[in-house]
């Protein structure tokens, strides 16, 4: 019996040891799997990164045609005042003397500049001026040299907000990936709850962080978790423009959240009241007793913070009375107009240096004087052009340059210099194409609100829209055809000739109603549409081509230009292809998957072929469009939106200004 009991005991112990061993192995495997999964998850959060020193790009010969200086941000660094805008970084001495201009596309990457902050990042030996860019990541400037912090992923390179932390970490807000964090060596997502949102503003610390977004309200990170605050919680609008924290050293005590319809005051993470109701609060500043609200187009409002509501006081705007700057010819008139309330003044940022308060407006830096008066101290100055966002170019037979804008009408520049003629109204606003008709002595301007006819002096003569027989008001392209014109629209093609206006669309055989580009050679009309190419003669569709019936790589056609008996075809997504006289479509050196040729941004003159791309610069081809190269250095933006060639001079319009260059320097 004893032996039997001993045997049973030994067996039980053995079984227990086996179970324990098995459990240990399973636990070890589970732990290893969990650790491995955590490590893999962490690796997935890491983003590819390149940090490199910047050197000036070799400009092939582009010259700028001056556009209005627009400012987005300001900072004081190493005793100098820096202003950043789409076109450049401007450095001023303390007395207001401009000491240096660092231009995008030349000294800096060809990407608009945004927010400026000063911070000391991990691995750096001294504080640096940190610069957000729209498309090229973050720039860091130590006063002598620039370096670039550039993510491999394109979506991480459009930087919308920066917040350096005392620990040396840098928080980076982006337009698509949400909030990122850079530790001097690696770049990764901050947290899953702050990912994949459009970040507009940042404030706080690692422990308590406020993240403003474009459409997702306010994200409040504290205690290792994120609280989402939106309209349901009392936020005036889910779009957050700026965040400012009150009571220095106590970020949780008060926070002010600017939105397009007012400012939310928060205490301990809760909204307690709304200030400046109905005002577009784009910039904020507070000294604990007063809140300054910088608005879009309506200047500055001062809101006293004592009292129960302050709505009555908040309705009184402070008018920025601007004193003239020596050499600024337009400041005096701007000041008088502002005093009468007729000039829009958009405030981008407030800045405090010692005891002095500044406000950065879109066209210069204002300094607060005694009371409610502000004086312009930096910025202003004249320019040749009215805007920066170029959409159409044409050099007329008299040498005058016509410049169309996406959102501000058109300018007409004399070949001899002098005053620029600007036209902007309900019809001449969003310009798509400008074409001269020497037979009738007119210039046709295709816009989103009709076809506007001008005489050679630039006087508006006639507006043609649906009531005049057009198939649609929106005219995307215009070409001289037969004894009249052909107009491309989102609803088909309208012909204007001696017989009046008559149209064709998909019912009459067009491959697609939405027509983006037109090309004419004799009796042949080529129409580039959203669904492929239509080949017409005599106003009738003879043949349609798309990806199913031809060698087209993409159906969305955006540009056309003739080279000999062939056509070069720009696409939205496959670069440039060749359409031969026999209707065959073949690839070229510039046929590249993913490359977007901007609408109507193609031109040829028998010596070169040019194509403007979305984000990839200027494509330059030889006379036949056989050999191609890409030009980026010297461009103010890699988004090339309009082109013109006249007397050996190439004009290149971008979303960030206009430049010109001798044709010889591009070959």
Q: What is the pTM of this model?
A: 0.81
pLDDT of residue 330: 41
Decide: 229 and 218 in contact? Cβ < 8 Å.
yes
Residue 23 to residue 504: CA distance in whole angstroms: 78
Nearest to 110 by CA among 50, 56, 70, 171: 56
The number of helices, as runs of H, and strands, as runs of E, in the chain is 3, 58
DSSP assignment letter at 555: S
pLDDT of residue 43: 44
Nearest to 395 by CA among 65, 638, 61: 65
Number of other residues whose CB lies within 10 A of the CB of residue 272: 11
Alpha carbon of residue 127 to chain centroid: 28
Number of other residues whose CB lies within 10 A of the CB of residue 267: 14
DSSP assignment letter at 373: -
Residue 519 to residue 200: CA distance in whole angstroms: 42
- 214-223 long-range CB contacts below 8 Å, 24 or more apart? 214/239, 214/240, 215/239, 218/243, 218/257, 219/193, 219/194, 220/269, 221/191, 221/193, 221/194, 222/252, 222/269
Q: Which residues, 6+ apart, have CB-to-CB distance to 248 below 8 Å?
A: none
Q: How do beta strands 187-189 and 46-47 pair? A: antiparallel
pLDDT of residue 337: 29
Residue 619 to residue 578: CA distance in whole angstroms: 15
**Tokens describing residue 404:** 């169309």
Q: How do beta strands 63-65 and 49-53 pair? A: unpaired
pLDDT of residue 378: 87
Decide: 246 and 288 in contact? Cβ < 8 Å.
yes
**Tokens describing residue 182:** 């850079």
Give whole-number Cα distances, 160 to 72, 174, 211, 533, 636, in Å.
11, 5, 12, 39, 19
- Low-confidence stretches of the chain (pLDDT < 50) are 1-10, 12-20, 22-23, 25-44, 248-252, 312-315, 317, 324-343
Nearest to 534 by CA among 518, 554, 551: 518
- 211-216 long-range CB contacts below 8 Å, 24 or more apart? 211/173, 211/179, 212/161, 212/240, 212/241, 212/242, 212/243, 212/257, 213/238, 213/239, 213/240, 214/239, 214/240, 215/239
Residue 571 to residue 551: CA distance in whole angstroms: 13
Number of other residues whose CB lies within 10 A of the CB of residue 84: 28
For every residue of 423-475, which 3-state class applies, written as one string? ECCCCCCCEEEEEEECCCCEEEEEECCEEEEEECCCCEEEEECHHHCCCCCCC
pLDDT of residue 380: 64
Asked whether the CA dihedral 84, 655, 197, 243 is positive or negative, the reply is positive
Alpha carbon of residue 600 to chain centroid: 20
- Which of the following CATH numbers is that of domain 47-57+67-289: 2.130.10.10, 3.30.390.50, 3.40.1550.20, 2.60.120.10? 2.130.10.10
pLDDT of residue 307: 62
Q: Which residue spans within 85-206 are E strands per DSSP?
A: 88-92, 98-103, 113-119, 128-133, 138-141, 146-151, 159-164, 170-174, 179-182, 187-189, 199-204
Q: Which residues, 6+ apart, have CB-to-CB distance to 489 below 8 Å?
A: 470, 471, 472, 474, 475, 476, 515
- Going across the sheet that includes 347-353, the strands are 347-353, 356-361, 364-368, 374-379
Nearest to 293 by CA among 328, 260, 266, 247: 260
pLDDT of residue 381: 62
pLDDT of residue 370: 75
Residue 242 to residue 175: CA distance in whole angstroms: 15
Give whole-number Cα distances, 17 to 12, 23, 36, 113, 662, in Å.
9, 10, 28, 68, 87
Decide: 525 and 481 in contact? Cβ < 8 Å.
yes
User: If residue 290 lies in a helix (H) or strand (E), which one and from where to where?
Assistant: strand 290-295
pLDDT of residue 109: 92
Q: Which residues, 6+ apart, have CB-to-CB distance to 381 below 8 Å?
A: 69, 327, 328, 330
For every residue of 472-526, which 3-state class applies, written as one string? CCCCCEEEEECCEEEEEECCEEEEEECCEEEEECHHHCCCCCCEEEEEEECCEEE
- 470-475 long-range CB contacts below 8 Å, 24 or more apart? 470/494, 470/501, 470/503, 471/503, 471/505, 473/448, 473/449, 474/448, 474/449, 475/432, 475/433, 475/446, 475/447, 475/448, 475/450, 475/451
């Amino acid at each position: 019996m004893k032996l039997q009991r001993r045997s049973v005991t030994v067996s039980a112990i053995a079984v227990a040891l086996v179970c324990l061993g098995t459990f240990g192995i399973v636990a070890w495997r589970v732990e290893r799997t969990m650790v491995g999964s955590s490590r893999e998850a962490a690796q997935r959060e890491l983003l590819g990164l390149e940090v490199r020193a910047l050197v000036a790009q070799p400009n092939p010969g582009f010259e700028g045609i001056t556009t209005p200086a627009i400012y987005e941000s300001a900072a004081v660094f190493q005793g100098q005042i820096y202003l950043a805008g789409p076109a450049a970084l401007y450095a001023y001495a303390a007395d207001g003397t401009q000491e240096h201009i660092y231009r995008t596309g030349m000294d800096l990457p060809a990407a608009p500049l945004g927010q400026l902050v000063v911070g000391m990042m991990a691995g750096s030996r001294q504080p640096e001026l940190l610069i957000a860019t729209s498309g090229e990541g973050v720039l860091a400037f130590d006063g002598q040299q620039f370096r670039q912090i550039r993510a491999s992923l394109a979506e991480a390179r459009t930087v919308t907000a920066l917040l350096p932390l005392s620990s040396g970490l840098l928080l980076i807000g982006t337009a698509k990936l949400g909030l990122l964090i850079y530790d001097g060596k690696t770049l990764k997502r901050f947290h899953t709850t702050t990912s994949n949102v459009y970040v507009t503003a940042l404030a706080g610390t690692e422990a308590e962080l406020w993240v403003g977004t474009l459409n997702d309200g306010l994200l409040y990170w504290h205690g290792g978790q994120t609280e989402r605050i939106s309209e349901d919680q009392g936020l005036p609008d889910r779009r957050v423009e700026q965040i400012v924290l009150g009571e220095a050293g106590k970020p949780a005590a008060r926070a002010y959240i600017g939105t397009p319809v007012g400012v939310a005051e928060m205490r301990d993470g809760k909204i307690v009241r709304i200030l400046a109701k109905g005002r577009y609060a784009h910039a904020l500043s507070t000294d604990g007793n007063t809140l300054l609200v910088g608005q879009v187009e309506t200047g500055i409002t001062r809101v006293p913070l004592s009292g129960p509501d302050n709505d009555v006081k908040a309705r009184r705007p402070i008018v920025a009375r601007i004193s003239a700057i020596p050499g600024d010819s337009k400041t005096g008139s701007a000041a008088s107009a502002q005093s009468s309330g007729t000039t829009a003044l958009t405030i981008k940022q407030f800045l405090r240096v010692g005891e002095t308060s500044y406000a950065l407006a879109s066209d210069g830096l204002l300094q607060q004087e005694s009371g409610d008066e502000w004086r312009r101290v930096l910025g202003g100055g004249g320019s040749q052009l009215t805007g920066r966002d170029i959409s159409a170019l044409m050099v007329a037979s008299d040498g005058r340059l016509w410049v169309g804008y996406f959102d501000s009408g058109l300018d007409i520049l004399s070949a001899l210099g002098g005053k620029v003629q600007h036209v902007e109204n309900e019809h001449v606003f969003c310009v798509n194409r400008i074409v001269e008709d020497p037979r009738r002595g007119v210039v046709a301007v295709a816009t989103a609100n009709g076809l506007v006819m001008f005489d050679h002096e630039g006087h508006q003569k006639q507006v043609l829209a649906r009531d005049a027989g057009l198939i649609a008001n929106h005219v995307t392209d215009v070409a001289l055809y037969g004894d009249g014109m052909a107009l491309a629209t989102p609803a088909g093609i309208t012909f204007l000739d001696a017989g009046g206006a008559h149209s064709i669309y998909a019912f009459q055989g067009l491959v697609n109603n939405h027509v983006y580009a037109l090309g004419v050679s004799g009796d042949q009309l080529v129409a580039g549409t959203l669904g492929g190419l239509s080949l017409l003669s005599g106003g009738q569709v003879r043949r349609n081509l798309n990806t199913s019936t031809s060698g087209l790589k993409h159906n969305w056609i955006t540009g056309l230009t003739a080279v000999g008996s062939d056509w070069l075809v720009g696409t939205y997504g496959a670069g440039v292809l060749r359409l031969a006289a026999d209707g065959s479509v073949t690839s070229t050196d510039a046929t590249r998957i993913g490359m977007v040729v901007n609408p109507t941004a193609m031109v040829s003159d028998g010596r070169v072929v040019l194509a403007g791309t979305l984000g990839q610069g200027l494509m330059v081809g030889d006379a036949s469009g056989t050999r191609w190269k890409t030009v980026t250095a010297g461009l103010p933006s890699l988004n090339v939106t309009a082109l013109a060639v006249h007397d050996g001079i190439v004009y290149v319009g971008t979303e960030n200004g206009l430049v010109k260059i001798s044709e010889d320097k591009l070959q």
